[in-house]
């Protein structure tokens, strides 16, 4: 299409040129890279970071995580297996009698000046007089004396109940619990603030009978009179 431009009276006549062509020629001459050919303005989403400062896990990180979790699971399984094996071993020992085996002492220390019968006679006198604290003490000393004459622990005046419990645990595991309960009663009354009662004495008598019944089959010949083996 040709447009005839009528110029004002300047002495120049009309120009027979295509304005579009003039614009394109001017654009190509002045700034062909920007003015006539605008840049692509299409929105571009940046690629996700692959290293340094990224918040996601790469393949190597996932592999390390999987290996760590597998190692942790393996440790837990091994620990459970070891506990089960130990428990089964304990059960087998109980069935075979290995854990409950009585191991009498080769030599034992005895208090020959105070045999168990004398302690029990004193206990009866204290009971009759209402002196229950002293009665419980005498009963405990009688129990220790009997176990010593069965070579299951040493009878040493002034020894603590803790030392006697530990030694009896090694020689006769089967009576550890009832002996410990009897020793607790003695400690609570003799060293603690508990008041001795008739019920406590009855409880002690029952525990004493249980311990002596469980160790009746391990009696050994007593030391010769007047001699304390060490």
Residue 224 reports pLDDT greater than 80? no
Residue 92's pLDDT is 44
Whether the pLDDT of residue 188 is over 50: the answer is: yes
For the chain, domain boundaries: 116-218
pLDDT at 25 over 50: yes
- Which ranges constitute the DSSP H helices of the chain? 19-30, 59-96, 116-128, 132-149, 161-171, 176-190, 198-214
Mean pLDDT of 221-229: 43
Q: Is the pLDDT of residue 55 over 90?
A: no
Q: Is the pLDDT of residue 78 over 80?
A: no
- Per the prediction, the chain carries an average pLDDT of 77
């Amino acid at each position: 299409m040709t447009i005839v431009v009528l110029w004002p009276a300047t002495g120049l006549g009309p120009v027979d040129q295509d304005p579009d062509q003039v614009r394109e020629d001017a654009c190509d001459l002045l700034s062909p890279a920007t003015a006539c050919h605008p840049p692509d303005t299409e929105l571009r989403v940046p690629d996700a970071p692959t290293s340094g400062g990224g918040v996601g896990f790469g393949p190597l990180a996932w592999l390390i995580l999987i290996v760590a979790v597998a190692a942790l699971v393996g440790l837990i399984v091994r620990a459970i297996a070891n506990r089960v094996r130990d428990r089964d071993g304990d059960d087998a020992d109980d069935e075979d009698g290995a854990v409950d085996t009585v191991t009498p002492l080769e030599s034992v220390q005895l208090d020959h000046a105070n045999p168990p019968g004398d302690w029990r006679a004193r206990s009866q006198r204290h009971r009759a007089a209402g002196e229950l604290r002293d009665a419980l003490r005498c009963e405990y000393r009688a129990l220790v004396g009997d176990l010593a004459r069965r070579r299951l622990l040493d009878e040493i005046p002034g020894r603590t109940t803790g030392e006697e419990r530990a030694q009896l645990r090694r020689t006769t595991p089967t009576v550890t619990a009832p002996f410990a309960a009897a020793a607790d009663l003695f400690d609570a009354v003799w060293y603690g603030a508990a008041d001795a009662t008739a019920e406590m004495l009855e409880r002690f008598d029952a525990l004493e009978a249980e311990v002596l019944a469980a160790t009746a089959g391990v009696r050994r010949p007593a030391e010769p009179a007047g001699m304390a083996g060490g």
